Amino acid sequence: MTTGELDETDRVILKILQVDATLTNKEIADKVHKSTAAIHERIRRLKSSGFIKKIVAIVDRKKIDKGLVTFSQVLLNNHTAQTLEKFEQEVIRFPEVLECFQMTGAFDFILRVATKDMDEYHHFYRNKLGRLPNITTVQSFFVLSEAKNDTAYPL
């Protein structure tokens, strides 16, 4: 199943679930004017075909004491497939790293890191990230405020 195979009802279901995945199949069925069984089958199909990767709760990071968000750009000193893969395998094991993207441009990777505060980030940097092999440069940017933090993709 590809994006082109999604019909309007599939797109509406995905929009609804991106906003509130706690809705029951009946509540979604009422919104899209379909039967509960039809919605159940469509959601099952959207999951099995990979459109819905997982359903999660989005936690308020400040309430769990992870108030400092950092974007860290990482430059490696060598760019073999093995070095890039090894870096990815190591960095994704760190619970502080929420996202890891390989990038084009001046840096090889950008990481989104969540820690309690600057002291905890410093500990992460010195004792985890900074100890990985083949790192040439780490440039970190600390989030001062959030104007938008959305998880829903436009459909």
Q: What residue ranges do the domains of the chain occupy?
A: 7-48, 68-142
Eight-state DSSP code of residue 135: E
Each residue's pLDDT tens digit, 71-95? 999 999 999 999 999 999 999 999 9
Average pLDDT over residues 4-29: 95
pLDDT band at 2 (very low <50, low <70, confident <90, very high): low
Average pLDDT over residues 18-30: 97
CA proximity to 108, closest of 70, 128, 133, 78: 78
CB 25 within 8 A of CB 40: yes
- Helical H runs in the chain? 8-19, 25-32, 36-48, 81-91, 118-127
Counting beta carbons within 10 angstroms of the beta carbon of residue 108, is it exposed (0 to 12), middle (13 to 18) or buried (19 or more)? buried
Residue 9: count of CB within 10 angstroms of its CB: 14
pLDDT at 22 over 80: yes
Three-state DSSP state, 76: strand
pLDDT at 21 over 70: yes
Question: Among all chains, which residue has been given the structure tokens 């995945």?
Answer: 21
Average pLDDT over residues 92-119: 98
Average pLDDT taken over every residue of the chain: 96
pLDDT band at 14 (very low <50, low <70, confident <90, very high): very high
Asked if the 7-48 domain carries CATH number 3.40.50.2000, the reply is no
Average pLDDT over residues 15-29: 97
Residues found in the chain: 155
CATH class of 68-142: alpha beta
pLDDT at 1 over 80: no
CB 128 within 8 A of CB 72: no
pLDDT for res 5: 85
Each residue's pLDDT tens digit, 134-147? 999 999 999 999 99
